[in-house]
């Protein structure tokens, strides 16, 4: 039973508080290192010159937008299948960060597209499917706000999140399935498609974004737990809650 100890909101809440500063420190360190490599150390691209450097923000944001959606759907699936409160709260906490990453991916992609394609936006397969991903995130947020009962909202958001997962492989494989302006994979398995220093900076930024997402999700999860467990005795005994009521 000890393995399921942290499946309880009361047990996971203090653990999340301990993990946040650790991942925040890691995210900050890696962000500084990644930006230094990406903006100053990595060489200039032969064809795109310095404009390519936006990949150090765009690619990690795009990857995280898809990864977070899958994780959100997984947590909601667990909540629907096992009827666990914390899983639904975790899914709820991921949504805004996933939406933020999607907006960042679209925004930086548009600025990258201007010098590369000559336009900020094209109804390209990958760009369009990434926009659909944003609508899915916003749909989950809207559905959550439209339903007062948290349990009913969990079920409705879970169904939408799980159905929307089909869009993730469409985003990823769109450049292979259709003729598209968007370039292929920046990192190819078994192939060296970019300079080693560019690759290093990119991977460092991916981990920086990942740790940032963990930090923000855990912070939001703690807020969600306090909101949804407000009537529980353990919440009233928390030092931060006592301080607020003084």
- pLDDT, residue 171, reads 85
The pLDDT of 142-168, averaged and rounded, is 94
Which percentage of the chain shows pLDDT scores above 90? 54
The alpha carbon of residue 76 and the mean position of all alpha carbons in its chain are separated, in whole angstroms, by 15
Q: Where are the domains of the chain?
A: 12-187+196-245
Q: Which residue has the higher pLDDT, 3 or 37?
A: 37
- pLDDT, residue 142, reads 96
Q: For the segment 19-56, what is each residue's pLDDT rounded down to a tens digit?
A: 999 999 999 999 999 999 998 888 887 677 777 788 99
pLDDT at 179 over 80: no
- pLDDT, residue 4, reads 66
Q: For the segment 89-114, what is each residue's pLDDT rounded down to a tens digit?
A: 999 999 999 999 999 999 998 887 77
- pLDDT, residue 174, reads 66
- pLDDT, residue 180, reads 58
The pLDDT of 51-66, averaged and rounded, is 90
């Amino acid at each position: 039973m000890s393995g399921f100890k942290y499946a309880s909101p009361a047990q996971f809440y203090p653990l999340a508080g301990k993990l946040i500063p650790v991942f925040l420190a890691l995210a900050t360190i890696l962000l500084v290192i990644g930006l230094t490599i990406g903006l100053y150390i990595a060489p200039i691209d032969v064809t795109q010159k310095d404009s390519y450097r936006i990949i150090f923000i765009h690619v990690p944001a795009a990857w995280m937008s898809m990864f977070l959606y899958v994780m959100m759907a997984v947590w909601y699936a667990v909540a629907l299948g096992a009827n666990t409160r914390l899983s639904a709260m975790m899914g709820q906490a991921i949504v805004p960060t996933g939406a933020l990453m999607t907006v960042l991916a679209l925004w930086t992609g548009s600025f990258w597209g201007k010098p590369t394609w000559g336009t900020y936006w094209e109804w390209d397969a990958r760009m369009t499917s990434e926009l659909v991903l944003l609508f899915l995130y916003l749909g989950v947020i809207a559905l959550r706000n439209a339903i007062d009962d948290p349990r009913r909202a969990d079920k409705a958001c879970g169904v939408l999140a799980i159905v929307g997962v089909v869009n993730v492989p469409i985003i990823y494989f769109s450049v292979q399935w259709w003729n598209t302006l968007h370039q292929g994979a920046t990192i190819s398995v078994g192939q060296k498609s970019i300079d080693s220093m560019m690759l290093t900076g990119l991977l460092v930024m991916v981990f920086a974004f990942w740790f940032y997402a963990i930090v923000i999700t855990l912070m939001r999860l703690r807020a969600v737990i306090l909101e949804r467990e407000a009537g529980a005795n353990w919440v009233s005994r928390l030092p931060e809650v006592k301080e607020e009521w003084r």
